[in-house]
Amino acid sequence: MNMKLISRDFYLRQLEAVRDIPDIKVITGIRRCGKSSLMDAFSTRIAGEAGVNVVRINLNLKRNIELRQPESLYGYVESRYRKDLKNYLFIDEVQMCQGFEEIISSIHEESIYDIYLTGSNAFLLSSDLATLFGGRVFEISIFPFSFAEYLQYHDSSDPDGSFDSYVRDGGMSGSYLYRTYENAMKYVEAIYETTIAKDIIKKFRVQNEGMLLRIGNFLMDNVGSLTSIRNVASKLISAAVDTNDKTAGAYIRYFCQSFLFYPVRRYDIRGKRYLEADCKYYLADLSFRFAVIGNKDPDYGHLYENLVAIELLRRGYEVYVGKLYQKEVDFVALKQGQRMYIQVSDNISGPETLKRELAPLLAIRDAYPKFLIARTRHDTADCDGVQVVDIARWLAGSQK
């Protein structure tokens, strides 16, 4: 069975926006989230235009095995340059060429190609890009399928009816090919295990795989909860694991650098300053939680919070956890000088629950938009200036 392809227009627009800008464009994201498919779609679009020359190389293919040698890759790219055309270079799995950094930097220095790359997260981590290519990099981060893309893939126009399935299935689209949920989750678990083995243990030379797995499980089990490195280390030590704050902090950082988790810092709304202590960590996709630790005591309020956090990041917002006096606002989202405040809840059908969830938002005195996102199954309503929005309909909305 072949994978059904959908047009990921949101990311294609991002690539188009930086087209011909003299930076090396690097597409990053968790394994199997569609980096190569996105590159294929964009390179095919450009190749259909007049006056262009597209050189497309997938180093993962056996027929390109000779190009994994740096001199061969450089010679191949140079030989296909067309002086009378606009030249575009797309290389997938660039790390399979040993010494790719020098080759790509040299081609970039010659200003003969507009360059686009994908590669293993073990070699193209966000924190390494500036070092690899001397700071001449523009990163395009992509995520697993959004709910809107999930609906498109399944030809569904019913967000209310499809939402619970999306929470369970997640956005790792390769899993959709499997006929049973159990096999789909085995596929997702295999991605998780490969990320652990190749993008973390291999890259960072991790010595204690058992502790790494424990920390991953802890973070999955506590999405949406404020987490301090000291608290993680203390829990491990109480379970007779020999560790300390420094090691626990490093392992958590490795998870984030491999795009499995995204850290969200706290922001003091009243003092308008960022707070260093404690973060929340959100999974790139909820399917990893169900695949690795199962349906163990799910707190759907926190799981919905995870969905909203990743969707805000996907839409290009800077995201923070808001603190106002002793109250917490789930998210402060910033983009292009604008700000909005968001509270996320599972069920607000009871008046006391609704009052509790509204309280942090109503305590904020500025005029920026405020949203309470919950599983209401109703149209958006205004409650004392707070927009109460159904989460399924919000997730299915246009990405702005």
**Domain residue extents for the chain:** 9-141, 147-396
Q: CA of 53: how far to CAs of 12, 19, 41, 43, 245, in Å?
A: 19, 14, 16, 10, 52
pLDDT score for 305: 97
**Cα 330 to Cα 308: distance, rounded to the nearest angstrom:** 10
Question: 248-284 pLDDT, tens per residue?
Answer: 999 999 999 999 999 998 877 665 665 566 789 999 9
pLDDT score for 125: 67
Nearest-5° Cα angle at 186, 93 to 34: 30
What letter does residue 155 receive in the DSSP assignment? T
**Cα 303 to Cα 67: distance, rounded to the nearest angstrom:** 44
- pLDDT mean over 27-38: 93
pTM of structure: 0.92
- pLDDT mean over 18-31: 94
Starting at the earlier edge strand, list the strands of the sheet with 24-28.
Answer: 52-58, 86-92, 114-117, 24-28, 137-141
Q: CA of 31: how far to CAs of 36, 78, 131, 223, 312, in Å?
A: 10, 30, 22, 20, 20
**Cα 178 to Cα 31: distance, rounded to the nearest angstrom:** 18
**CA nearest 400: which of 5, 42, 6, 13?**
13
Question: 88-111 pLDDT, tens per residue?
Answer: 999 999 989 988 999 999 999 999
Question: 149-182 pLDDT, tens per residue?
Answer: 999 999 999 999 999 999 999 999 999 999 999 9
- pLDDT mean over 220-243: 86
Question: Which two tokens mark 237?
Answer: 């030590």
Q: Say if residue 48's pLDDT is above 90.
A: yes
pLDDT confidence band for 239 (50 / 70 / 90): confident
Topology of domain 9-141, CATH: Rossmann fold (3.40.50)
